[in-house]
Amino acid sequence: MPWLPQDAPRHTHKADTPHLCRLWSEVANEVLGETGDEGRAVRAANAVVARERRRSEKDFHGKSEGGLDRES
């Protein structure tokens, strides 16, 4: 049974927006389809959501890698 975006918060607290929930379910379902391994699918989806969340926070706060302000 495929995962739905509503399932994401049950697997990771980082899926705290509709976008991240959709992303989580897309990745989880894709990996499940490729591997048949639910654990691997959840881990992959969690990793992608965590990476996307860090990227979004970095963009929002105007910080570059390492926490330094971007040069104008």
At 66, the pLDDT band (50, 70, 90 cuts) reads low
Pull the structure tokens for residue 46. Answer: 């969690």
Mark residue 5 as left, alpha or beta (left: phi above 0; alpha: psi -120 to 50; beta: remaining).
alpha
Per-residue pLDDT tens over the stretch 10-58: 999 999 999 999 999 999 999 999 999 999 999 999 999 999 999 988 7
Helix, strand or coil, per DSSP, at residue 71: coil
Q: What number is the average pLDDT over the span 56-72?
A: 59
Task: Judge whether residue 1 has pLDDT over 90.
Answer: no
Name the pTM for this structure. 0.79
